[in-house]
A = this chain, B = another copy of it.
Amino acid sequence: MADSAPFAPPAGAAELEDGTALTPKFDAEGLVTAVATDAKSGDVLMVAHMNAQALAKTIATGEAWYYSRSRRALWRKGETSGHTQRVVEMRIDCDQDAVWIKVEQIAGACHTGRRSCFYRAVPLGTAEGDVRGAKLEFRDARVFDPKAAYGKGSSHS
């Protein structure tokens, strides 16, 4: 469970959507969803989560911080690999449970070595009953060697 003390609790729906107060709506695990896009290309690089502390650190430092659900730990993007994200702009959505950051990404965002985590396309037009057999199509090659960047065992950092 995250410490949400840095932020005030959400007010009613009207203030949440039409107000200027930053009152993030953290979920039961204390998290908001965070989408990082490439400030130049607009491509979605990754989808992750922030707890209150990660959100506060991202705002304060202009570098992307996240919360790893699997490792249950605050995580500065690039702390192991050096593949940091400088935040150019942060937006928050209507009900304040998701943030969008436009970032300058060093090397690649994905722990598999790609620029973006979304390196495979899902073909469209497959009949609803046949989607089980849909074949993903690789679109992006690796831009770095994950073994060299992370050593072994680490992921998403």
Contact = CB atoms under 8 A, between A and B. Distances in A.
A91 B22 contact: no
B19 A47 contact: no
Interface string A16-42: 011111100000000001010100011
Contacts of A57: 128
A126 B60 contact: yes
In this complex, the interface size class of chain A, counting residues with CB under 8 Å from chain B, is 35 or more
A147 interface: no
A77 interface: no
Contacts of A60: 125-128, 131
Contacts of A35: 35, 44, 47
A144 to B, nearest CB: 14
Contacts of A20: 120, 135-138
A92 interface: yes
A91 to B, nearest CB: 4
A73 interface: no
